[in-house]
Structure 1
């Protein structure tokens, strides 16, 4: 009988973890981040890429660096924060959840390491779209969401074991743990090259549709970001609320057309008002 791989070993392999890294389960992403932050004696710096700049209620006391006008200035602001005052941990998202820009994780890790700190990545939407390599990217900790990867289940934090507790903070039964791991394997089996090309082809469809709609434009946080995943916010002239459009490995043209039809209806209603 072929032995069933340990789910934690599968998740460690999914993010190319180092041989001495540890994998822990938590109830959700916030709790997984807290497993690392709670064992840091110094300050924590949080890169906030949300437009409203509201800090999480689960992260009191973090020093927040706001996203700047472009990516180059944002990286400079992170560096300046470490120059101004020491910190032990940098927390960053993998992507901008609203507009899809992928953060340059190796460059951010280099900033943290230059100042004697470690970096934690909230992989969120990134893990199902791009390769994450703790070893070559210099990432110290990564948090994966079972809800995003598998559609159910806990979060997991993977990284350097010297600042992680010995035991999981959540009880995860065996079927759930294996389901989480098998979903990660299924993503890896599809291949991130195929996933990227699929998203890029749908992105072109979105861009063409938005250009054809009067008063509609796809928002960007950083004009100099080189990579974007299938997350978009569409601004419509005269309307305060944006229209979100989302696509990924499980999105077909029919689903994308449904979202674009919703956008078109919003544009035409706005023009008629």
Structure 2
């Protein structure tokens, strides 16, 4: 059937994100526009995505086996979403699209399907480092060129079934040459999976053209934070592996056992084999809508200019050091991680939020082995600023000016570790603007309800 909410072509109109005009309180009592420079962790929803989900909500119903009209609409939306996400990553005609919760979930699903050891680098996010079980973790060399040479040797020596690599580092934004890596892996008889959680929000992906076998990504980093991720790739491993979850929707038939016997199950092929339970239709629809809108909104040149302005500004400040893995890397997405001498990363992040209304990330970014090498701080922690849709020159300059103020004059408020996190002391800001702790709720500032 043709559903009411059919797939729509992408648009080249400027894409906007929800919360672009959000104003947040400072410890001084002022309110300022929020500068969200933490997009690498989670990105706000595109306005088009939020509108699409709102339009779908009245039709929400269970899928695949419902005779009701709303159920048929949602079934159509879900299956169209597979096609849309597949096109977004350049899937091959026989590739399968499996909806998951996020990138971590997708990689763990694939880990249960791989018929052999997995090789990965030590620069990976924990999701792409810890999911795989047997296999070597190769220390990345000091240059891209040497890292590729080491990968070639390890692939030929170890003969892994799979090579797992990041599409873009979540710490430094640096990209590896994925097409070359895929060729190296295939020459050694291995397949390649790319953790594209950081790559997909900034660059187009074509797994057919690049030779990538599997790709995993998250909706919450792709301006669709509705609890869905995806694994896309070859069907054969997925069709014969043990189902990721056992339950309804993953089977063709279940036969009741005779007394003392075992239940006989005929499992469905992928994708349904690995999607037991009621699927996240709203999440899949949101992810697909982001995949329709984002290609027309990406502007790598603008992001590169902002990143250059940010990094140049920070590098000019005394005691501030930006982090890189490879001096010969030639392409990056808009992620900049830095340390400030004499200032713990957690306190820097708390200061930027409390006194300047700037949101950044601090810590080890689920990449502990890499940060232990790069940070050079007593606790291995750093500060990460990440840009994307909606980021402006003003956001960049506010951050650089705030860090300059910090290294020149110090913070204007007291900070201490409270419940394991650096916080302003005291913190006079409202802690429950949504009214969650109130039985009647609260009115959000500026929301008109």
Q: Which residue of 2 aligns with 1:117?
A: 190
Q: Does 1:8 align with 2:82?
A: yes
Q: Which residue of 1 aligns with 2:49?
A: none
Specify the structure having the higher radius of gyration (Cα). 2
> Are the equivalent residues in 2 in contact too, given 1:27–1:169 (CA < 8 A)?
no
Matches within 5 A, 1:7-46: 7-46=81-120
Q: Which residue of 1 aligns with 2:296?
A: 189
Give me the whole-angstrom Cα distance separating, in 2, the residues matched to 1:155 and 1:265: 40
> Are the equivalent residues in 2 in contact too, given 1:154–1:172 (CA < 8 A)?
no
Q: Which runs of 5+ in 2 are unaligned?
A: 8-79, 240-269, 344-376, 412-449
1:42-73: per-residue Cα shift (whole Å, max 9, x none)? 1111122159x998444332321121111111
Q: Does 1:106 align with 2:212?
A: no
* TM, length-normalised to structure 1: 0.89
Bigger proportion of residues as helix = 1
Match of 1:223 among 327, 333, 340: 327
Q: CA 1:87/1:202 → structure 2, altered by over 3 Å: closer, same or farther?
A: same
1:186-222: per-residue Cα shift (whole Å, max 9, x none)? 11121x4xx2012012112213312431232322110
1:7 offset after TM fit, Å? 0.3
Give me the whole-angstrom Cα distance separating, in 2, the residues matched to 1:15 and 1:267: 43
> Are the equivalent residues in 2 in contact too, given 1:218–1:232 (CA < 8 A)?
yes
Moved over 4 A (4+): 53-57
* TM, length-normalised to structure 2: 0.55
> Are the equivalent residues in 1 in contact too, given 2:122–2:137 (CA < 8 A)?
yes
Give me the whole-angstrom Cα distance separating, in 2, the residues matched to 1:25 and 1:17: 14
Q: CA 1:216/1:129 → structure 2, altered by over 3 Å: closer, same or farther?
A: same
Give me the whole-angstrom Cα distance separating, in 2, the residues matched to 1:108 and 1:57: 21
Q: Which residue of 2 aligns with 1:159?
A: 233
Give me the whole-angstrom Cα distance separating, in 2, the residues matched to 1:268 and 1:60: 47
Match of 2:393 among 239, 253, 257: 253
Q: Which residue of 2 aligns with 1:264?
A: 404
> Are the equivalent residues in 1 in contact too, given 2:81–2:285 (CA < 8 A)?
yes
Q: Which residue of 2 aligns with 1:172?
A: 279
Q: Does 1:147 align with 2:220?
A: yes
Q: How many residues align?
A: 267
> Are the equivalent residues in 2 in contact too, given 1:50–1:96 (CA < 8 A)?
yes
Q: CA RMSD in A?
A: 2.4
Q: Which runs of 5+ in 1 are unaligned?
A: none
Q: CA 1:172/1:55 → structure 2, altered by over 3 Å: closer, same or farther?
A: closer
